[in-house]
Copies of this chain bind each other. A is one copy, B any other.
Amino acid sequence: MQRHFEEELEKLKEKLVLMGELVEGMIAKATLAVNQQDPSTKESLYQQEERVNLIQIEIDELGISLIALQQPAATDLRFITSAMKINNDLERMADQAVNISQHIVQATEIFPQEIFNMLDMISQKAQAMVKDSLKAFLKKDLALAQTVLKRDDEVDDLKDNICLWLISYMKENPEKIAGSIDLLIVSRNLERIADHATNIAEDVIYMVAGKDIRHHILEKQ
């Protein structure tokens, strides 16, 4: 029974890792498509999202059956219910990646490279936060989870800078307002992905350190 439980728990972790890798890949692909102003990747992102949706259901089912059949001890129970929440966050990141691909500016519209570089920077940070929040969960690494929370502030600053940059660009280039709005939406989708990673990190802190410390950390932000 115990050995079977460990095996099933291992399967749950592997599925989460797979889902995390898929989602990271989707964010990278969507960002590249924005930078290269290439709308052709939209279709493959839809297909990957379908795959993520299927894995989400598998993880939920595995979590439920682990709890129902194995009646895990309190620590394992918290791990499994956290995994099911994290599962949700990862699936919503995949949604955001698809949403990004719906706001690719047409190749005929020329924008300064600077804005694409800023978007790339926020995307890189978000991807690293996804990777590290998941790693913190699997290794129950409180310190790593806390670095994710800190990095969310950097992402927020970047998002604000992009917004200010775009506002001033739109004022000078009113014919580029529609394209600028697309890029603004992309930046907010990326920031939202970082938010989901932050939610995962908060779940880790809650799981490892208990509610009081979690609340303390949240208040300090």
Contacts and interface: CB of A to CB of B under 8 A. Distances in A.
Interface of A: 53, 57, 60-61, 63-64, 67-68, 71, 74, 77-78, 81, 84-85, 88, 92, 163, 166-167, 170-171, 174, 177-178, 181, 184-185, 188, 199, 206, 211, 214-215, 218
Contacts of A64: 74, 77-78, 81
Report copies per complex.
Answer: 2
Contacts of A78: 64
Contacts of A81: 63-64, 67, 81, 84
Contacts of A84: 81, 84-85
Contacts of A67: 67, 77, 81
Nearest to A168: B177
Given A57-B215, A63-B81, 8 more contacts: A57-B206, A57-B214, A64-B77, A64-B81, A81-B84, A84-B85, A85-B85, A85-B88
Interface of chain A, helix or strand or loop or mixed? Answer: helix
Contacts of A184: 181, 184
A129 to B, nearest CB: 17
A134 B174 CA distance: 43
